[in-house]
Amino acid sequence: MHIALNCVSYMNESINEHLHLLTKLALKGDEETAELLINILLSLEALQIRAIAYLLVYQIIMNTYIDLTEECKKCGGVCCKFGEPIELYSFDVEDLKSIVMEFDNYVIKNCGKVYLPRPCPFQNEWACSVHNVKPYACLSYPFAVENLQKDVISSYTYSHPPRPFIPHFCLAGQKVWNIIDSTIKDYKFLHGKEPLPQDLLKYTSKKLKVHI
Ligand code: SF4
Ligand code: SF4
């Protein structure tokens, strides 16, 4: 299922909805929210949550600092075409309704939940026609999708940046990981240690901002 990374199995459920909204803001490139979120996650001092913090950083880097137009075009938008319906959070529905007329015509409603079908009705050839208000799940693909990364998270045993799982068709994810991997090597060469999630985000954003 194409759902956003879910900390519910590691955290108190009462803060889960709020955490998802914070995470969506961070995934959209809000630097202050990203810093706050990473600090909250790391304060929990659990190894699996540290892995989640790294994966979120990878996804923020993908969403914010790297142009992936060519890769997504070449792939043809596979992640929007195939798979189970995408669950929408209430904040996703509000965001989409701000620009989509007759919203109810595009979604599936079941047991009080709202889903986007796939192929997604908002896909225009390979591109997303609602890019600025795309759902949390879409902003999470592929590094912050729980189902894709569950083995990476559960087998995480040491505090280094984890190697993510990337579907073979996701050329964008492969490009992003190559950039992050070489950035981690640069950081280690300069500082003599592995970057923490917040270090990796700061270092990568500084390095990549120069080129955009
Ligand atoms: S994110 Fe990956 S799977 Fe989705 S369109 Fe881009 S390359 Fe394809
Ligand atoms: S909303 Fe946009 S990114 Fe999400 S599945 Fe639809 S076309 Fe793809």
Per-residue CA distances from 180 to 115, 154, 198 (Å): 32, 21, 13
Q: From atom 2 of ligand 1, which residue's Cα is the shortest distance away?
A: 170
Interval between CA 14 and ligand 1 midpoint (Å) = 33
Does residue 198 have a pLDDT over 70? Answer: yes
**pLDDT score of 207:** 86
If you measure from the C-alpha of residue 128 to the centroid of ligand 1, how many angstroms do you get, rounded to a whole number? 11
Residue 156, ligand 2, Cβ within 6 A: no
120 in contact with ligand 2, CB cutoff 6 A: yes
CA 177 to centroid of ligand 1, rounded, Å: 13
Measured from the CB, is residue 71 less than 6 Å from ligand 1? yes
Query: Which of 58, 171, 174, 175 gets mutated to test ligand 1 (max ligand atoms within 8 A of its CB)?
Result: 171
Pair 118, 80: CB distance under 8 Å: yes
Which atom of ligand 1 is nearest to 71's Cα?
7
Better-predicted residue by pLDDT, 14 or 136: 136
Residue 115 Cα to ligand 2 midpoint, Å, equals 12
- Residues contacting 157, CB < 8 A, separation 6+: 47
Identify the H or E element spanning 200.
helix 197-209
Share of the chain above pLDDT 90, in %: 83
Tell me the pLDDT tens digit for each residue of 13-61: 556 778 899 999 999 999 999 999 999 999 988 889 999 999 999 999 9
Among 148, 165, 139, which residue's Cα sits nearest to residue 62? 139
Q: Which two tokens stand for residue 194?
A: 């592995």
Q: Is the pLDDT of residue 125 over 90?
A: yes
Q: What is the pLDDT of residues 71-86, one digit of tens each?
A: 999 999 999 999 999 9
Q: How much distance in Å is there from the Cα of 77 to the middle of ligand 1?
A: 5
Are 143 and 105 in contact by the 8 Å Cβ rule? The answer is no
- Ligand 1 midpoint to CA 135 (Å): 15
- Three-state SS sequence of 112-158: CEEEECCCCCCEECCEECCHHHCCHHHHCCCCCEHHHHHHHHHCCCC
Query: Cα separation of 120 and 126, whole Å?
Result: 11
DSSP string, 43-103: HT--HHHHHHHHHHHHHHHHHHH---HHHHHHHTSHHHHSSSPEEE-HHHHHHHHTT-TTG
Question: Does 13 or 145 have the greater pLDDT score?
Answer: 145
**CA atoms 5, 8, 9, 11: torsion sign:** positive
Taking the CA of 71 as reference, the closest ligand is 1
